[in-house]
Amino acid sequence: MTTTDFHLTGAYAPVHDELTASDLPVTGALPPELTGWYLRNGPNPRTESQHWFTGDGMVHGVRLEGGRAAWYRNRWVRTESFGDDDATLYNTDGSRNLRTSVANTHVVNHAGRTLALVESSLPYEITTELDTVGAYDFGGELADSMTAHPKICPTTGELHFFGYGSITAPHVSYYRADASGKLAVRQPIDVPGLTMMHDFALTASHAVFYDLPVVFDRASVGQGMPYRWDAGYGARLGVLRRDDPAGGVRWFDVEPCYVFHTLNAHDTADGRIVVTVVRYDHLWWEGHGPARGVLWRWTLDPATGRVTEERLDDRPAEFPRIDDRFAGSDVRFGHVTQSGKDGEQSFLRRHDLHTGTSEEHVFAPGHVPGEAVFVPAEGGDGWLLTYVYDAAEDRSDLVVFDAGNVTGAPVATVHLPQRVPAGFHGNWLPDA
């Protein structure tokens, strides 16, 4: 086994059984207001997988209600290409088959639909029971892929997203669906080449796109991730006004880097745009060693056309999350996790973005958390939910933390019937 096969062992190794288990045992006390579904997506290859990012999508869900853990389920997302080893993303004429999908990256809910996402394809609708409904194209209006990181505006209820991946221009397009789910805006974004654009940022007034130097490599298609670092491509941030999407994108140069995930972004009273991200100095650059993401802040000044770049922390971090009720505004707290490898400890960290301070929960050796999703609490701060893998017992728990006291012990631990492989993103779906 090579070093690139880490995703097939330990916390990352796939599981093969789809299970349903009821009345799960709980240590501690589940907050009774946690009534809903915690769903998290991730790659779970059925056979071989050349890269962690390419495994088949499997959603793991726990239903909480009234202080009890009612059930756990895990189900593959059964896309049109699921089980078809000959399925390809690109047709022989160079066009894309948007229903060829592993749907393995995220789960979001908008306008009454729960969508499993991967950025190369159309969304796949699933139920809260984790059954696959089918590909979703906004009533035939979307003929493009959809980012796995759409943004829901908490003020308007609109769903903002982009699609990328076309070999021919336009390589990127921005989309907006209204609160009812009707696709209302499509705007091509002019970029010089096809890059891996995984995430973007949304403020109350702007969408911000990341045109960064991880570029499409046709020679690598079918050999894992078809992208490579191109030191000569440059790096820039593109700003589009939400009230004038046809007005064009204004670009701001930044130092070369890569960003998988945005923590948050907001506008300031004096017209600047602040974007907080997990930033990598490089990615997949041969001969430059492993890259690690750390928390950075970009402040874009339209008056000068310049960007101030500031590192907020020097400790590795990933999977940033906030209280999504305040997305696009000057939110105070952000949460990141780090899943330790090769004996390193794992942590859950809470950053106070206003004071620059932080506090963290350090997990016991061999305990590996995933992304921690914030759930608001009645009359208080909120809760953080994350799956935690226990290497010694080779199984997983759903762990609930008090977001205002992450240094303390969990308030509740739901013991699951099997291991949940290390995965990507998910959400808390409260009862309507």
Strands (DSSP E) contained in 203-269 are 206-211, 214-216, 227-229, 236-241, 250-253, 258-267
pLDDT band at 279 (very low <50, low <70, confident <90, very high): very high
Own/partner pairs, 264-270, CB within 8 angstroms, 24+ separation: 264/201, 264/320, 264/322, 264/327, 264/328, 264/331, 264/334, 265/201, 265/202, 265/203, 265/206, 265/208, 265/328, 266/203, 266/204, 266/328, 266/329, 266/330, 266/331, 267/203, 267/204, 267/205, 267/206, 268/330
What is the maximum span of the chain, computed from C-alpha positions, in angstroms? Answer: 59
Among 14-18, 93-97, 383-387, the range of highest mean pLDDT: 383-387
Gap between the terminal Cα atoms of the chain:
47
Question: 């799960």: which residue's tokens?
Answer: 24
Determine how many CB atoms are found less than 10 A away from the CB of residue 325: 11
pLDDT at res. 1? 33
What are the tens digits of pLDDT across the range 333-382? 999 999 876 667 899 999 999 999 999 999 999 999 999 999 999 887 99
Mean pLDDT of the chain: 93
Mean predicted confidence (pLDDT) in 408-419: 97
Mean predicted confidence (pLDDT) in 423-428: 97
Q: If DSSP codes are grouped into helix, strand and coil, which group holds residue 264?
A: strand
pLDDT at res. 66? 93
Whether 316 contacts 310, CB under 8 Å: no
User: Which one-letter amino acid corresponds to residue 27?
Assistant: T
The tokens describing 27, both together, are: 């240590």
What are the tens digits of pLDDT across the range 219-274? 666 566 788 999 999 999 999 999 999 999 999 999 999 999 999 999 999 999 99
More confident residue, 154 or 12: 154
Nearest to 404 by CA among 428, 383, 379, 388: 383
Determine how many CB atoms are found less than 10 A away from the CB of residue 233: 16
pLDDT at res. 255? 98
Q: How far apart are CA 419 and CA 398, in angstroms?
A: 11
Whether 411 contacts 31, CB under 8 Å: yes
What are the tens digits of pLDDT across the range 60-73? 999 999 999 999 99
| Distant-in-sequence, close-in-space partners of 245: CB < 8 Å, separation ≥ 6 | 174, 176, 185, 187
The tokens describing 313, both together, are: 């922390």
Say if residue 94's pLDDT is above 70.
no
More confident residue, 207 or 342: 207
pLDDT at res. 25? 98
Q: How far apart are CA 202 and CA 326, in angstroms?
A: 11
pLDDT band at 3 (very low <50, low <70, confident <90, very high): very low
pLDDT at res. 106? 98
Say if residue 189's pLDDT is above 50.
yes
pLDDT at res. 152? 98
